[in-house]
Amino acid sequence: MQGFFRHNHFGVIGHFVAMVLCGSRLPKYRSPQLAGKPLFCRYLLLGTSLCLCSLLAGCGEDRRKSDVLWVSAAASLGPVLESLRLSIEGELGVELQLNLAGSGTLTRQVLEGAPADLVILAHPQWMDPLIEAQRVLPSDIEDVAGNRLVIVGRGEPIELAQLRDPRFARIAIGDPASVPAGRYAEQAIRHAGVWDEVEPRLIPTADVRAALRYALSGDVGAAVVYRSDLTGIQDGDGFGVLCLVDPAGHDPIVVTAGVVDGSPGGTRLLEWLRREPAQQRMAEAGFDSVPR
């Protein structure tokens, strides 16, 4: 019976309110002392019932809000955050909701009102609009990881400049306009002096994981992705790293996290991600740790 009332309290109260309004015979859980009382007693009961409904609804909503932690994270962080899910939920006592996309897309979504307690982006530049809109304070921003850029595909190792070879007729990279991995890739290709030859062959993708999928399926001859994207990838057809890109050819790859609107839950998760156990797990997933 306790379980019934816990999960069906709105139905029970609603039924009770309907009885009161309609002047019907009240169900058996009505106090017999109410029989024959004036009409104002029914209105008194109605007001009490509605207040109780409101209280229960408010408590349920507050409970949901406090238990759910919304994290908008760059797509490249999806696998490692999923691997950390149980630890995060167990230690922080929350339900983790992940929203994964390109960093530019995430920034736009948060500015448009998408729920977020913490936003984790693959380039610090995409944090600037959130700072300007006062959705994230500079004091609530921390670097949580670094990364390396790699060229993946099938075949023998290459130098980056060899992307101009005819065998690489199609090359996938994240869209430089909204995907940090694509921006880093463009910088590296320009630094190698082959941008004009390579640019017409580029297939821009919505996020870096999509570029990886193109390469895995063989739809492109190569893709420029993060080293961490290869964690857990098993391919028996010779798929692997063709080139470890020289970091001197592009901006430093820094994964930056910011607490949205001063969220207490976001603050706790950001501190959790900076601790040694989480940093170790991220290193195992191909990321570079960052000093505290």
The pLDDT, as a whole number, for residue 236 is 62
Cα-to-chain-centroid distance, residue 220: 27
Domains of the chain, by residue range, sit at 2-65, 66-146+254-284, 149-249
Q: Which CATH superfamily is domain 66-146+254-284 in?
A: Periplasmic binding protein-like II (3.40.190.10)
pLDDT tens digit string along 126-175?
Answer: 999 999 999 999 999 999 999 999 999 999 999 999 999 999 999 999 99
pLDDT value at position 290? Answer: 82
CA 134 to chain centre: 20
Same fold, 66-146+254-284 and 149-249: yes
Of the candidates 253, 228, 208, 214, the one whose C-alpha atom is nearest the C-alpha of residue 75 is 208
CATH fold of 149-249 reads D-Maltodextrin-Binding Protein; domain 2 (3.40.190)
pLDDT digits 0-9 by tens, 205-257: 999 999 999 999 999 999 999 999 998 776 667 899 999 999 999 999 999 99
pTM score, two decimals?
Answer: 0.74
pLDDT score of 238: 83
Could you give the 3-state DSSP secondary structure of residue 222? strand
> How many CB atoms within 10 Å of residue 173?
29
- Residue 222's beta-bridge partner residues? 153, 171
| Strand-strand pairing, 68-74 and 95-101 | parallel
